[in-house]
Structures are given as structure tokens and as C-alpha cells.
Structure 1
Amino acid sequence: MSGVGAWIRYGDPITPDQREFAAKHYRSAILQPWETAAAAQLKRLRPDMTVLCYKCLSSTRDYEPGPVYSSGISYQEAEQQGGSWFATRLDGSRIQWNGYGGHWQMNVLDPAYRERWVENVSAELADSPFDGVMADNDVFEDYYQLDLPIREADSMEDLRHGLDLLVHAAGTSLNSVGKILVPNIAESRRIPGRWASHAAYGGGFEEVWLGYGPANLFDPVTAEAQLGQVEGPGLSILRVPTDGDDTHPNFTYGLAAFWIFGAGRGSYSATAHDDYSRTQHIPELDWSLGSPQGKPEGRNHVWSREFSNGWAAVNFNQDGRRRKRVRVPVGLQDASGRPAPSSVVLPAQRGVIYQRGQNN
């Protein structure tokens, strides 16, 4: 059993073959909260794996039959409480998320909503095989076209304040029952200290690490502003966007950065948008490069780092003309077992990772 991979798997029902594969190749997993049998099997097969269940902080879904829900409060429970926990527009109408039918925005500024969310999730997790919760939609901008102002919230800053209170309350409560909270902390780089604050209860999830999409990677300054996330606190789960093909160069690009700046801490994934029904994998995801042999070395947004069992390099530059030749330490090999070259020319927004050969 090996690997630094994160299995982001809250899509279609999980197959037995996927469970077996995951136990061999992933360090962490995020599953739907009703996948308790899969969670229990993963913990039996891989006791050191961190297995989290999905819960949404900001919405409820009207199509889920229950009795377990992907939100902290079900649509039916919110209705039974009189409907005041739903966010509403200025005309009083409820707000369905654009692009996600059946997802309804909740009023995260309502203390009663936050209290019930925390009560429900803490009670559900107390005797669960899950190690904790990945709390989705710790949002920053208006991703779902709420079109503020809405009732009780003039701006996204108001909603972020409500989410801040909810994250701290949920994290404190879950920690008290021996579970962790790992929020999906959107755009934390834009507010100093936000990542550390929201990750303080077990870790943080960055769903758009190094870019928004496979062809929309961040400029070097923005990319480097995210690098501190690999240092924790807790478990950092970092996802880089691809087009869904595991041979996409972004997979290795992000993995190289993960090793250079995190030295193997946390866990890593590369997927297409909302592509959370498969077992994404490349051989390098299973590697352990060992202990760092120094700090990251870099110049002009090109970085490398040597480890006791390997080496990685990355070029964060966005301009295609900024190719950079980097010297490769001796005695390394690629995933096919071929000897690594003595130097490699890294194009913009590309990374490379080599491990030490068997006879070295």
C-alpha cells in the first residue's frame, strides 16, 4: 500500500473493484455520506487512510430520498421548520442554484440553521466509520448566480461571515466527538489567514489548485500564492484540473508542485470538472520520494527539489517562451523505468517527477 493520492469520489455508486483499487493507491477519500459500507471497508483494508463524507454547508437538495443526505439539513426538514432556513430573494422566492437543479441556497446567516446543521452532522458522524466531513461550498464569490442582494445578505461578504461562523461551530463540535472537518475553502489565497483558520479542525480541501480548468491555469504569482496550503494545518487535499484523461500534463504538473512545496504531506488528485465517479491514477501517484535533501530551489518561477528517493521540478510561468533547462540529479528514472536525462527542458506550466532507480 502506498501513494499520496486523494480519491474524490462523490459521484455514481462505488463498485467493489474501485474499493479494492482505492485501498491500494490512495491516502485519503471523500465519499457520499451514505457510502458507509465503502467507508468501513476502506478503513479495514487501509487503516491509515483518512475517509471523509461529503456534506454541503450552503445548500440542500430536494431530490434526495434519505435517510442520509449530502447536506446538513434535508429539504424536508427545512420545510417542516417553516421554510425560514431557505435563503430568499428580495421578493421572497427561494433560490435554486444555476447549473445545479434541485440545489437550494440556505440562509447561512440564520443561527438556528447553523445550530441544526452542526447538531445533525455531529450526531450522524459520532458512531460512523468516517473519519470526518469534507464540508463543501465554503464559497467566496457568487458561483451559483444568487444575484445579491438577497434577504439578509447584501453581499458575498455577508454570506462568508455566516459560513465562517458555521465552519468554526462545526469544527469544534466534530472534534469533540473525535472527527475532523475539512472544508472546501474557496479562494483562500485572497484573504490572508483564511486557509489556516478554516483548516484548523482537521484540514482543508482546495478544489482548484493551480488553476480553474485544464486550459485555464493560474499565472505564476497566483499559483505561488496557493503553495502554503500544502503545509496544513491538518490534512491538505489538493486537486488540479484536467480534461479527465489521466495522461493530461496537468496531472504531473500539480504532483510535482505537491512534492516540491509539501514534501509529500497531505494528498493530491487531478480530475475533470465534477468528474468524481472514477479512480484517477498515474504510476507516479504511488511514489514516495522520501525525505527532502534541502529546501525548494527556484528562480523566475521555476522550482525544483531533491529528495532521498527522487526529484521533482515545475515551471509556473504562463508565457510559452519561458522554457527552462533544469539539471537532473544522477541515478533517477521515470515511471517506465527508463533512466532520467541529465537535464530536462521544462515548458511553461509543466512539471516532472523522477524516482531513484532500484540499483542506486
Structure 2
Amino acid sequence: MTGVGAWIRYGDPLLPDQLAFAARHYRVAILQPWEVDAAEELKRLRPDMTVLCYKCLSSTRSYEPGPIFTSGVSSLEAEAEEDGAWFATRLDGTRIEWERYPGHWQMQVWNPGYRRRWVDNVVGELRDSPFDGVMADNDVFDDYYGLRLPVPGAADPAGLRQALGDLVHAAGTALNAAGKILVPNIAEARREPGRWTAHAAFGGGFEEVWLGYDPVHLFDPVTAEAQLPQAAGPGLSILRVPTDGNDRHPNFTYGLSAFWIFGEGRGAYSATAHDDYSRTQYAPELDWQLGAPRTAPQGGNHAWWREFEGGFAAVNFNRDGRRRRRVPVPAGLVDGEGRPAPSSVVLQPQRGVLFRRPDA
């Protein structure tokens, strides 16, 4: 049985042996939509793996040659529709290219015609494909790309969110009817009660900034704990914690511990640097099978731990250096090197730890 890893991989072209490695170590893979042969091979090697294709809800990319695109509506198709009427524009009529992402053009997600075409295109493309569904990127909460609202058709971020919610609902309903799932990249769901549950209702949700924005700026304990219900679904929860790209960065086990304590090992987990989606990120702890929980989450004051049939996890969400927490550790466990675990461990702020049973 493989572990709980998510292979978030939609950057550079595939390298030799990556598919075999992924089949051995990951539960979920996200590929580029044209990597159909790779998806088919992963499903052959691991029929139980969930393999998703990347699609963007909010933009089209003018640099992509096709014939398969990361967008639901390609740039050429959008140009041909009513003389480019589906491109979002500023108040002066100029199109909106995303800041920091050249060649990404904001689309009128509030336009019903655009939404219908997005759904029709994506469902038609996936209906007979080996992909299990779609990871729909840029289900945004706020203006992250320099739209500088208001623009014609979108007065504020709330209107943008509503339009994307309508698109997610329509796409999820249609994909489910075709036997596929939809897993949106649901930005900042913690800021709107019910947002995660509603947008993840069609197969799951992806949280790209779980527990922090970057390796240094992790969330305060109240903010971190507001995200914890996302680990429990609905559907497939894919949770990514930020690191500096080093797979032994302490954030790797910090997030993985919380993933187990509050998600019981369901879903899939990854820890990467910003936009570092071309590698096979991995730490041996991803393969650990902690099994069914023996207890509910224990603790308080932003430090939590939980015992499982196959191991133990603990996490300290406090970020004040004076708020270390001593946590009792059950007997009979070992660390990643196979050494006996101590009877207790002092968790530094924003750190986590996992131990396993020797036979797990």
C-alpha cells in the first residue's frame, strides 16, 4: 500500500522514471491535460490512484500552441467568440493580463456563455479520457493578479467569487454526470463559512496554502486551526504546505502531522516551494501507514496530538517562541531512523512530529 502523497506536477515536461516513482509513492497525481499517455500509464500501474488533469477556471493562456489547453476555453476560441467579448477588460477597454504571469489573460467568468463553453469543452475532453477528473485552478477569493476591480461585469471580489461559484457548481455537476470529479483550488476558504464544503462537493478540494503562505510566514494558530476542517473533506482533500523546496524542511512534518491528526490520513498531502511543480517531492514519512485512530485529537492551547493503530502524530500551532509544548508519546514507537521514540517530546512552535509502530 502506498502513502498519502500528492504529486502536484504541472510544470516542466515529465522526466524518465517519474511515473514509476509516482506509482510507488503517491495517492494522487495532477498532470497537464495533454499528458494523457502519462495518465493512462499511472492508471495501469496504480488503478487506485486518483489522476487529475489541470484546468484553469479564470484565465486563458495565449502562449499555448494546443491542440489541448490548460484553459477550459483556449485563447484562439475566445478570440473567435463575438470578437473576443469573453476576455475581461479594464474600464478603458484594454484586456487584462495577469501580473507576474505573462500570457495569462483574465476571462469573463461572470459571462454565462463563457461558463457554458468552459463546461462543455472540459466535459467533452475528459469524458473518454483516463483522467479521473479535473483540478480546477484559480477558484480565487480576492484580486491576486492585478485586475484592479471594478471592471466591466465585476464590481468587486464578492461578485467575482459568486461567478466562480456558479462555474464550479455547473462544472462539477456536469463532470459528476460524466463519471468524473472536480477538485477546485479553493483559495482562502477559511474566510467564508461554507465555501470549502460547497466548492468541494463535486469530488474534493485543493488547498494550496495550508497552514501558511510561504516557508517563513506561517499562519497564526487561530488562522491555522480555521483551516483544519478542510482535512476531513468532503471528498478528496489535497493539502499543500509551503517549504523552501528542501524535502527535509521542518514544514514538511509540521503539515503532515496536522494532516493525520485532523484528517485521519484521508485525502493527499504535499509540501513544496512556491510554484515548484516539476519534481517528485517526497519524504519517507509520506509512505507511513498510521492506520485508524485510537483516540480523538487530544490537547489544547493550540497544541494537539493523536494516537493511531500504527503510530502517533503531534503538532504545535503556536508561533511565539515561548510557547513550547511537552507532549506525551505512547510506548513502543520508533522515529524515521528506527530509533525508539522518547516517552515525551517538547514541540517547538509551528513544528510537528510523527512516530510509527515498527511493523507499520
TM (norm. structure 1) is 0.99
Name 1:190's counterpart in structure 2. 191
Distance 2:130 2:2 in 1: 21
Matches within 5 A, 1:260-339: 260-339=261-340
Give the length in aligned residue pairs.
359
Q: Indicate the RMSD between aligned Cα atoms, in angstroms.
A: 0.8
SS of residue in 1 equivalent to 2:60: strand
Give 1:76's aligned amino acid: L
Structure 1 gap segments, 5+ residues each? none
Identity %: 72
How far does the alpha carbon of each residue in 1:12-68 deviate from its partner, in whole angstroms, 9 at most, with x for none? 111231100000000001111011111111101011100000000000000000000
Name 2:49's counterpart in structure 1. 49
Distance 1:315 1:231 in 2: 19
The alpha carbon displacement at 1:341 in A equals 1.0
Name 1:5's counterpart in structure 2. 5
Structure 2 gap segments, 5+ residues each? none
Distance 2:263 2:150 in 1: 40
How far does the alpha carbon of each residue in 1:292-348 deviate from its partner, in whole angstroms, 9 at most, with x for none? 001000111000000011000000001011011111111101111111111111000
Name 1:59's counterpart in structure 2. 59
Give 1:59's aligned amino acid: S
Name 1:129's counterpart in structure 2. 130
Distance 2:190 2:45 in 1: 36
How far does the alpha carbon of each residue in 1:68-95 deviate from its partner, in whole angstroms, 9 at most, with x for none? 0000000000001120100000000000
Name 2:172's counterpart in structure 1. 171
How far does the alpha carbon of each residue in 1:114-162 deviate from its partner, in whole angstroms, 9 at most, with x for none? 0000000000000010000000000001110111111111101111111
Give 1:338's aligned amino acid: R
Distance 2:116 2:20 in 1: 38
Name 1:104's counterpart in structure 2. 105
Matches within 5 A, 1:74-85: 74-81=74-81, 82-85=83-86
Distance 2:37 2:22 in 1: 14
Name segments (4+ residues, structure 1) moved above 3 Å.
none
Name 1:252's counterpart in structure 2. 253
Name 2:34's counterpart in structure 1. 34
Matches within 5 A, 1:12-23: 12-23=12-23
SS of residue in 1 equivalent to 2:345: strand
Distance 2:322 2:266 in 1: 32
Give 1:124's aligned amino acid: E
Distance 1:40 1:256 in 2: 32
Name 1:117's counterpart in structure 2. 118
Distance 1:188 1:228 in 2: 11
Name 2:341's counterpart in structure 1. 340
TM (norm. structure 2) is 0.99
Give 1:45's aligned amino acid: L
SS of residue in 2 equivalent to 1:94: coil
Distance 1:8 1:321 in 2: 35
Give 1:49's aligned amino acid: M
SS of residue in 1 equivalent to 2:17: helix
Give 2:158's aligned amino acid: E
SS of residue in 2 equivalent to 1:182: strand
Distance 1:79 1:141 in 2: 26
Distance 2:164 2:246 in 1: 34
How far does the alpha carbon of each residue in 1:168-207 deviate from its partner, in whole angstroms, 9 at most, with x for none? 0000000011000000000001111110000000000000
Does residue 212 of structure 1 match 2:213?
Answer: yes
